[in-house]
Amino acid sequence: MISREDICATCTDYVAAVAAHDTDAVMRLFTSGATQEEPVGSTPRVGHAEIRAFFKSSESFPFTVRRIGPITVSGNVAAFQIRVDFPSGDAASMTSTDIVSFDDDGRIRSIVAIPDPDADPDVRG
């Protein structure tokens, strides 16, 4: 079974790869049959080709991300929040909560993102 430390390291690597707009680095973290539902409620993308297309389409979009708060882990599932900043036009920020499941080798099996444009990352509580 994968360790908590390995799960946290993969979550950290995922946020760093998304922040760098590095689709190849993001894809190295996913299993071949992984699913991605972003935003929650949308049709899940299945497999590398569909997930890659999603991240590739956002490479030129100006945004920054960074993790806020701790990574919580239970078994092979983790959750964390990220702050997303959109610097173009009217600067805006939001919080997204990502729920990630892992295979026993530490690769992402599924990820569900719950973005909330009304969740101001600067407000506590």
CB 98 within 8 A of CB 7: no
Other C-beta atoms closer than 10 Å to the C-beta of 9 total 13
4-116 maps to which CATH number? Answer: 3.10.450.50
Distance CA 56, CA 62 (A): 13
* Tens-level pLDDT at each residue, the chain (125 residues): 799 999 999 999 999 999 999 999 999 999 999 999 999 999 999 999 999 999 999 888 889 999 999 999 999 999 999 999 988 766 688 999 999 999 999 999 999 999 998 888 888 76
- In this structure, what DSSP letter does residue 123 have? -
What's the rounded Cα separation, in Å, for the pair 38 and 7? 20
DSSP-H helix ranges across the chain: 4-19, 23-27, 47-58
